[in-house]
Structure 1
Amino acid sequence: AGGAVIADAVHIQKVGGGSASEFLKSGFEFLVNTGTTDNQNAPQVAVAANGSFVAVWASSAGSREVYMRRFATDGSPIGGETQVNTYSSNDQNAPAIAMAPDGRFVISWTSTGQDTSFDGVFAKLFDSAGNAVTGDILVNTHVADNQRFSSVSMNSSGQFVISWQSDHQDDANGVGIHAQRFDANGTPVGSEILVNSTTEGDQRFPSVALTEEGSFAVVWQSNYNAQGYEIFAQRFDANGVKEGSETQVNQYTFNDQTNATVAYSPAGRFLIAWQSTTADGSGDGVFGRLLNVSGQFDSNEFRINSETFNDQRFPSVASTANGDFVVAWHSDNQDVAGGRGVYAQLLNSAGEHVGMEIPVNSTVLGDQMNPSVGIGPSGRAVIVWESDQPEDGDAFGVFAQIFQVID
């Protein structure tokens, strides 16, 4: 698996100036998990400066647990898969991961019953060799009802921010978005923060992106007006204080805008991507918009997927060191065998398409879905996804493909 073989290369000219760019597929897709009983799903990935990476996922073999596996730059595994959570009663699921350039990383997840009241959010910090340096850290302070579906972002100093949704907390009308800052040792910094200002309806499924200076942005979906979900963003300074007001991101407001994700680039911009129903003229499509660190939008919303037939869903976004972005998603019936396939698009720092969208998975039997993309400072990119193709041997498994972004 892995290796330096160039299986595919897309040669592209950067739009809007700059040097020629390439988005290279390195080696072949490979199976990430070693345990294949039942389903392995909800994969996430993070990449270090040297190109090594860690994949994390939830396994339903027996009780539901969170697992991780480390890989070298060429995709060769560094040991076997490892259970992340220490507490193993009930279910542990919905993992998220973030990594510093030196390879330190943090994993967060949802745990049922561990915080004494339904679902709670927990995290564990690891050194660059994959050794746990903390136990299970309770992230949420408020434990009544459910806290779940976390997102995490880490900068080069090892500071990290975790955001999640909480039922009937400060947002008394329903579900609200909260966040907590941590230092590099996994110690909470300040109190947990209510992210959303609008409390009508439900605010769900946050995504967070942290800058090098410690400021951050959180995005989420809200059905505050009972007319469908919209995408909102809120910026915070390095002390966790709100900067400006929450801002509606999407401009197309018919039907639902959901599954928002955000990444920060060193060019000083956040790329927010989401799934929009009927905006591309055919089912769901993937759209994006650029927000700068001063709170101004640097673009109107734009369509990221080129193929618009059927549905394109569940985007994931990551940034390169020079400010470019890679967005991955899954698309219905675009693969030659039908079913779902994973696709990716390189964008420059202005949000312009660089070349064409490309298929990520090589195997097209069954469904390939729910991708996650990670990029290290060197431009090494890894996309992971879940698939029910035969190689896993039983239900869904986690697969990966390595890429290189070259300027």
Structure 2
Amino acid sequence: SNEIFNKAEKEAIELTKKEEALATQKGGQREAANEIAHLLKRQATGATKIGSEFQINTYTTGNQENPSVARLSAGQFVVTWQSSNQGNGDEIYGQLFNADGTKSGSEFLVNTYTNTEQHYPSIASLSNDKFVVTWQSWNQDGSYSGIYGQLFNTDGTKNGSEFQINTYTTFDQISPSVASLSDGKFIVTWQSDGQDGNNYGVYGQILNADGTKSGLEFWVNSYTIGRQLRPSVASLSNNKFIITWHSENQDGSGWGVYGQIFNGDGTKSGLEFLVNANTRDNQAEPSVVSLSNNKFIITWHSENQDGSGYGIFGQIFNVDGTKSGSEFQINTYTASSQNVPSVVSLNDNKFVVTWQSDGQDGNNYGVYGQIFNVDGAKSGSEFQINTYTTGRQQNPSIASLNDNKFVVTWQSDGQDGNNYGVYGQIFEAIIPTSSTTSSSTSSTTLSSTSSTTSSSISSSSSSSTRTSSSTSSSSLTSANAATGPRSSSLLWGILSGGGALCLYLVGGIIYILRRRKKYSHDETGRNKSDSSQVSDTFELGKQENMSSSASRGDTSEYRFTPDVVVPLGYRTPDEVKQGGDTSEYGFTPDVVVPLGYRTPDEVKQV
């Protein structure tokens, strides 16, 4: 009889191991399936929001608008904007942020000269752990607007004094754009009224890291008829830089977008070139950025090209200014107008474009974005950037952050309680990897495995258990690698299943011990015939059960206990089926008994 009870105890342990593995698999499958669905949803859009959108300006009276944002070397970022009536008219303010979007310090005044108005800031991070802000200042140079700049340390304190950038001061010099160069210098471009002899033209000035001028200001556009406006500049990988602008009637129909590559000393490299292939109506407001594969991308808005108002288009160029492929449409939603694009390069050979879209969010202008592969193919679908949709959200500016993240800033009408305010949102770009692909594949395998499991617990033989465990492990590994914190929810699922199994095990062992105690007391009075009868009963039941199991294809050694290892109240799968149970795995939490096991009453009858 000791041998019989030892077999029963061994049976209980083996059963517990099987049920624990099955529960772990079940919990893992559910968590992995949820995680895979979450990853696939994120991958479909190409980007996911990190936290909520946040207010950038602290002072809210009047308008805070025209933001410009740049990443800093320490992982932080800085935003600048123009604020009305915060001091003496319109002035330029800034705010440092930590990588998670929390403010670092207080907002600060950028310009020193405050007697008139300062507008349209443009900001760039420098290679010496500093950043530079440029803007246009009214009447500071003695004749209408001029271009000025200020260097800052990474803590937001000023580094030196503000400095004048334009040399020619007659009439207006406005709309600055700034970019850092690979040799530690930086380049500023702007539009200047009457300097090229015919209305507005585009000019530039290279400056040293300390803000002193390097060489003379230089003329950018070669074609001078009409107006050349709204320059955008970017540094290239070969110690050169590219300046783009829109030019009036140069392409034969309204505005067109043009570009010119420059050497690091400000001399022209080649000729200016037409950017847009479609020349019907107007193409304007270019934005340019260098890409990670030694190419660059120029974006702009084009009138009636997408069939409705303005749409956003782009063209990739080789480093020598020749086109790489054809121009392509960026916006998917085409009703009304999508205009004023801003573009930035991301890690892993991608870039992201943002723009303002009229009516797409249900209430006037909203801000939208689209991630692209380096070849111009879309990565995911376009996504909404602003969460608050009342009134207008427009004039986006974008900057790349560390770890495939980026931040978008814009001005929002009425959100801070008083006209325009400046807001931001951090995103993470979803970069598809082989692990993501394997997660998708594992999802299909998991679904198949769980369907097989639901037919009968006994189908979880050693072979299928190894397969499903491997599949679940692959899925869980990829899910955890992609999400991190969600691993805690998976662990909780596993622990919960394990806890239920522990209760089952304790109940079974207690019952065994009680029975063993009873048999121990009675054993001295038993004769051999009693023992033989029990043994015969065990063998008979075992043979009957193995015969039944064989008809189901079951080959496990132990399918029946001569005694009881299952607490009262548990049901067999057949009993569950008769009771109408419809759970996914074919049994409810109070059912952990494989086919062929018997309840205490059934054992007594035997």
TM-score past 0.5 threshold: yes
Which residue does 1:4 correspond to in 2?
Answer: none
What SS does the corresponding residue of 1:190 show, helix, strand or coil?
A: coil
Residue correspondence of structure 1 range 347-366 to structure 2 within 5 A? 347-366=372-391
Asked whether the 8 Å contact 1:32–1:398 carries over to 2, the reply is yes
Of 178, 200, 204, the residue aligned with 2:203 is 178
**What is the CA distance between 1:325 and its match in structure 2?**
0.8
Q: 2:100 aligns with which of 57, 70, 74?
A: 74
Counterpart of 1:92 (choices 109, 118, 121) is 118
Q: Where do residues 188-267 of structure 1 align in structure 2 (5 Å cutoff)?
A: 188-225=213-250, 227-267=253-293
Aligned 8 A contact 2:73 2:125 in 1: no
Corresponding residue number in structure 1 for 2:330: 304
Deviations 1:336-383 (A, max 9, x none): 3x2111001001111111000000011111111110011135433110
Contact 1:48 1:377 in 2 (8 A): no
Does structure 1 conserve the Cα–Cα contact (< 8 Å) formed by 2:312 and 2:329? yes
CA–CA distance in 2 between the matches of 1:351 and 1:132?
Answer: 40
1:382 aligns with 407
Among 41, 50, 53, the residue aligned to 1:29: 53
Amino acid of the residue matched to residue 376 of structure 2? G
Rounded Cα–Cα distance in structure 2 between residues aligned with 1:22 and 1:358: 8
Residue in structure 2 matched with residue 146 of structure 1 by the alignment: 172
Sort the Cα spacing of 1:326 and 1:101 in 2 relative to 1 into closer, same or farther, 3 A: farther
Q: Separation in 2 of the partners of 1:397 and 1:141?
A: 34
Contact 1:310 1:332 in 2 (8 A): yes
Distance 1:100 1:147 in 2: 24
Q: Pick from 82, 91, 101: which aligns with 1:65?
A: 91
8 Å Cα contact 1:236/1:242 also seen in 2: yes
Equivalent position of 2:467 in the other structure: none
Question: Which one-letter code corresponds to 1:11 in the other structure?
Answer: R
- The one-letter code sitting in structure 2 at the alignment partner of 1:68 is G
Instruction: Give the RMSD, CA atoms, in angstroms.
Output: 1.8
Runs of 4+ deviating beyond 6 Å? none
Q: Name which structure has the greater RCO, CA cutoff 8 Å, separation 6+.
A: 1
Does 2:147 match 1:121?
yes
Tell me the secondary structure at the aligned position of residue 163 of structure 1: strand
Q: Contact 2:126–2:186 at 8 Å: present in 1 too? A: no
Kept in 2, the 8 Å contact 1:198–1:224? The answer is no
- Greater share of residues in helix: 2
Q: Which moved more, 1:158-167 or 1:217-226?
A: 217-226
Q: How many residues align?
A: 390
What letter matches 2:168 in structure 1? H
Query: Which is worse superposed, 33-42 or 103-112?
Result: 103-112
1: CA distance between counterparts of 2:426 and 2:401? 12
Instruction: State the shift of 1:224 in Å.
Output: 3.8
Identity fraction in percent: 38
Map of 2:457 onto structure 1: none
CA contact (8 A) 1:49 1:377 kept: no
Letter in 2 for 1:59: S
- Supply the distance in 2 between the matched residues of 1:153 and 1:318 (Cα, whole angstroms): 12
| Superposed CA offset, 1:74-102 (max 9, x none) | 11101111110000111100100111367
What is the Cα deviation at residue 157 of structure 1?
5.0
Question: Contact 1:384–1:401 (CA<8 Å) still a contact in 2?
Answer: yes
Q: Secondary structure at the match of 1:143?
A: coil
The secondary structure found in structure 1 opposite 2:89 is: coil
Q: Which has the higher strand share?
A: 1
- Closer/same/farther in 2, CA of residues 381 and 156 from structure 1, 3 Å limit: farther
Residue by residue over 1:274-306, the C-alpha shift from the partner in whole angstroms, topping out at 9 and shown as x without a partner, is 011101100000110011211211121111000
Note closer, same or farther for the CA distance 1:356–1:248 as it changes in structure 2 (3 Å cut): same
Tell me the CA shift for residue 213 of structure 1: 4.4
| Runs of 5+ consecutive residues of structure 1 not aligned to the other structure | 1-7, 14-20
